Amino acid sequence: MSDLSPPTSRTFRRFDRVVWIVAALVLVALVLHVVDLGVRAMHHDESLHATFSWYLTDGRGYRHDPLMHGPFQFHVIAGFFTAFGDSEAVSRLPAALFGTALVATPLLLRRWLGSVGVVAASLFLVVSPSLLYFSRFARNDIFVAVWTVLLITAVWRYRDDGRLRWLLLLAGTLALSFTTKETAYLTAALLLLYLSAVLAFRLASMRPAPAPEVVEEPETRGRVAAIRSFARAVALMPVAWLIAAVWPLIVNWRERWGWTERPREVDLMVLVGTLTASQLAAAVQIPIGIVSTELTGDSEIALGAVMVTVLVLGGSAVGLAWDWRRWGLAAAVFYAIYLPLFTTGFTNMEGFASGFWDSLDYWVAQQEVNRGNQPRFYYFMMLPIYELLTLVPAVIGGVWLLWRRDRFAALLVWWFAFTLLALTIAGEKMPWLTVHLALPLAFLAGYVAGKLLPAWAAALWDRRAPIVAWAGAGAAASVVLLVFALTLRTGITLSFDHPDTPLEPLVYTQTTPEVPVLAEQIEQAAYDTPDGSQLPIYVDTSASLTWPWAWYLRHLEVNYAAQETFRDGSLPEGAILVTTLNAITPTDPLRFDYQEPIRYRHRWWFPESGYRQTSPGFLWSGVLDGSLLADWWSFTLDRVDESTLGSLDGEVLFPE
């Protein structure tokens, strides 16, 4: 048995009570994810993803653009469009099914989570407001969530039993991560840093056998030995990756240090490191940008070609030297997924460059743009609002388990802590990234519940348990039930009551429900002609008005024009016009040829001025006087009034 296996590990029956409970939770999740899936108005980003997927279905092809992240989502949505037709509900169906499947993933780690922990983690995944909302959203974050769980599972289970299947799962899921979203770079860093630390401690514990004539002093045991081992591990951490890379080349040196057996962490580091290295070519621009000007044109193309070639060949050399059979299989799995997706089945050969270079190149540049312009404490605000049910037990229980040197808890805590730190430092902070924090919180809180609840239940059922213990347990259960009810209420109202009305920060900015209603009116009016031909339609492209009109009007012939076109008198007679408010001045003679314009709100957003102006001193005073808790409670119950929402308004003009 591996030293990672829990002391009470046993073989579970394939279909026992725990599996059936999780299956029931999956069924509940499926209902929550698919009911009224097409009701909400298409978000700006959703319309981009759905429209370009529809282009692929319609035979117009697909070209990877890092602005919209990886190609996986477009191919999957296009496949669903082909099978079920194009609609808002179908565009969201892949995310909904992945969000449903996510609820079952704790079963992959059942031996460590325990039966109670698996059920608790699955339940937390069902009721998480962040996970539920963005599982009903045509975005790629929920796909990444599933890939991340599979990566964590592959790493942990390979460390436990060393089976090839986990290396292949690791390679395949890593490829899917890079073809889905650039958060894959953060996930790879999370894994490599974790493996580096674990490998350092593993190597520090492997010491050469003492010479026969050497008698160990008592002082080498106990606390002194532990301190020395810890110091060696800390010293090895910065170079652990290098030791893993050159492991086959340092045989004599390893024998001197007693590293005769290759730790499994070496295998994992080599595989993750070599496959990730091919994705890091564009990172060379960071040091170049510090010491010289930005690369452009032919110089960037030449540098990119050189760097990609060096990293791919260098990584291959390291992998083949490590284990040519296993690395060859894993690399074949990785590139069999990666290359066809980026090149759209090898119909777009420029996808090689956009995958290996453009993805990282674009998103490194975007960090300075700081889209969203959110404060540093953004996620520290979002988590108590939406994930309090798992946040408190995960943080408190995680510290307790770390104190007890629980290795599995260390992985889960690192997963959450690194993700929180990385997203806090990153320039772009968006509500959908809360998904990547809610996920490890659900697993960690489930693990804590699996450790504590059976022990507490056993203690309470002891007839000698004092009345104080029962009273404390009752009070704790009441608090948990209250927070559970509030969390469930938040998720239901968010996803079903006002899913396209930004009464809370998780909705952020959203297309208003008025747009799909107007889209139906435009489609009806477009063909309301004597000969059945379509009237011309012109949409103003200023203020990104194109989206989501490009989706809603996809079956019509539409002209997307700059605002000047609506003012220079070049519009054809009888055209239907969609513009931003006052793009056509009130005195413009053009208006005399049209009915009274229909004013509408194109998109609206949550009022952020309040929390953006918050200072650390204000927060601290709110904690001390209780006003912060009162504000949290008030917001949890009522959210904000719709009259406070900001909006971008437009108007639709139908000809007389």
> How confident is the model over 162-178, as pLDDT tens digits?
999 999 999 999 999 99
Q: How far is CA 20 from CA 14, 444, 447, in A?
A: 10, 22, 19
**Which residue type does 333 have?**
V
First to last CA, the chain: 81
What percent of the chain clears pLDDT 70, i.e. is strictly above it? 90
Same domain assignment for residues 134 and 265: yes
In a domain, 259, yes or no: yes
Q: Confidence class of residue 479 from pLDDT cuts 50, 70 and 90?
A: confident
Same domain assignment for residues 516 and 425: no
Residue 332: pLDDT over 90: yes
Specify the pLDDT at position 11.
52
In a domain, 143, yes or no: yes
In a domain, 489, yes or no: no
Last residue of some domain: 390, 408, 441?
A: 441
Q: Confidence class of residue 263 from pLDDT cuts 50, 70 and 90?
A: very high
Average pLDDT on 471-488 reads: 86
Same domain assignment for residues 437 and 333: yes
In a domain, 487, yes or no: no
Q: Lowest-confidence range among 133-137, 327-331, 359-363, 588-592?
A: 359-363
Specify the pLDDT at position 251.
85
In a domain, 585, yes or no: yes
Q: Give me the domain span that covers residue 369.
A: 37-209+220-441
- Are 156 and 408 within 8 A, CB to CB? yes
Same domain assignment for residues 239 and 123: yes
Give phi and psi for 205, each to the nearest 5.
-85, -10
Compare 610 and 204 and report the one with higher pLDDT: 204
In a domain, 633, yes or no: no
Same domain assignment for residues 535 and 434: no
Specify the pLDDT at position 223.
67
pLDDT tens digits, residue range 405-461? Answer: 999 999 999 999 999 999 999 888 999 999 999 999 999 999 999 999 887 776 666
Residue 120: pLDDT over 80: yes
Instruction: Provide the mean pLDDT of the chain.
Output: 88
In a domain, 233, yes or no: yes
pLDDT tens digits, residue range 264-291? Answer: 999 999 999 999 999 998 787 776 666 6
CA pair distance 271, 69, nearest whole angstrom: 24
Residue 256: pLDDT over 80: yes
Q: Helix, strand, coil % (nearest 5) of the chain?
A: 70, 5, 25
Same domain assignment for residues 406 and 521: no
Specify the pLDDT at position 369.
61
Residue 613: pLDDT over 80: no
Specify the pLDDT at position 648.
95
What's the domain count of the chain? 2
Last residue of some domain: 420, 441, 462?
A: 441
CA 185 to chain CA centroid, nearest Å = 12
Last residue of some domain: 394, 412, 441?
A: 441
In a domain, 16, yes or no: no
Residue 179: pLDDT over 80: yes
User: What pTM does this model have?
Assistant: 0.93
Tokens 């719709």 identify what position?
642
Same domain assignment for residues 429 and 520: no
Same domain assignment for residues 395 and 540: no
Residue 214: pLDDT over 50: no
